[in-house]
């Protein structure tokens, strides 16, 4: 089994999912492929390997914990970008339907596939959300890379917060 940067339960915060055991295996594979395609290049191989190693060992550093899950006030972490990018990929590849109870696979003979227009709308919506969180992640990574004079992670977060703009980023104190 591949090591995931986020668990499937992280999706509950952003989107209602309804999966059986077989579905979870497919979905976990989508999470892994998405993190490998999108997160690894953003972080660089060294940082990506560091995160995977720490997650496997169950000993994630506080700085990497914030990178993964955010700090709830100024930066949301890798999770939201990975969630939305995975959903976009998943919507493109599998026969699904969004219902009040969550996403449902269309597998039995009584099901009908959703039309391509509806599927494309789901994909575009997920990609728009992913782009917002990707921009925040890129900005956070850039500020932390460039701000090596800051000796603590809190100082780096303050730098991130003070330069954040309205609309896409959370602003400290608001």
Over residues 129-156, the pLDDT tens digits come to: 899 999 999 988 888 773 344 445 455 4
Encode pLDDT of 58-82 as tens digits: 999 999 999 998 887 778 889 999 9
Does an H or E element contain 141, and which?
A: helix 116-146
Q: What mean pLDDT comes out for the span 35-45?
A: 93
In this structure, the strands spanning 96-99 and 102-105 are antiparallel
Query: Which pLDDT value is given to residue 149?
Result: 40
pTM (global) more than 0.75: no
Burial profile 125-142: b = 16 or more Cβ within 10 angstroms, e = fewer: ebbebbebbbebbebbbe
The candidate with the shortest Cα–Cα distance to 123, out of 90, 168, 96, 98, is 90
Encode pLDDT of 86-127 as tens digits: 988 887 776 555 555 555 555 555 555 566 777 788 888 889
Query: Which pLDDT value is given to residue 59?
Result: 95
Q: How far apart are CA 84 and CA 80, in angstroms?
A: 6
């Amino acid at each position: 089994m591949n090591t995931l940067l986020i668990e499937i339960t992280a999706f509950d915060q952003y989107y209602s999912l309804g999966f059986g055991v077989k579905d979870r295996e497919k979905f976990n594979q989508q999470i892994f492929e998405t993190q490998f395609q999108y997160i690894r290049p953003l972080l660089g191989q060294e940082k990506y390997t560091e995160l995977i190693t720490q997650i496997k060992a169950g000993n994630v550093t506080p700085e990497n914990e914030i990178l993964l899950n955010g700090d709830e006030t100024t930066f949301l972490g890798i999770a939201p970008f990975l969630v939305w990018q995975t959903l976009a990929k998943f919507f493109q590849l599998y026969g699904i339907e969004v219902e009040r109870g969550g996403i449902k696979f269309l597998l039995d003979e009584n099901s009908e596939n959703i039309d391509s227009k509806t599927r494309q709308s789901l994909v575009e919506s997920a990609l728009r959300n992913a782009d917002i969180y990707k921009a925040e992640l890129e900005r956070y990574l850039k500020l932390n890379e460039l701000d090596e004079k800051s000796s603590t992670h809190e100082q780096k977060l303050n730098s991130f917060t003070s330069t954040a703009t309205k609309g896409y980023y959370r602003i400290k104190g608001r």
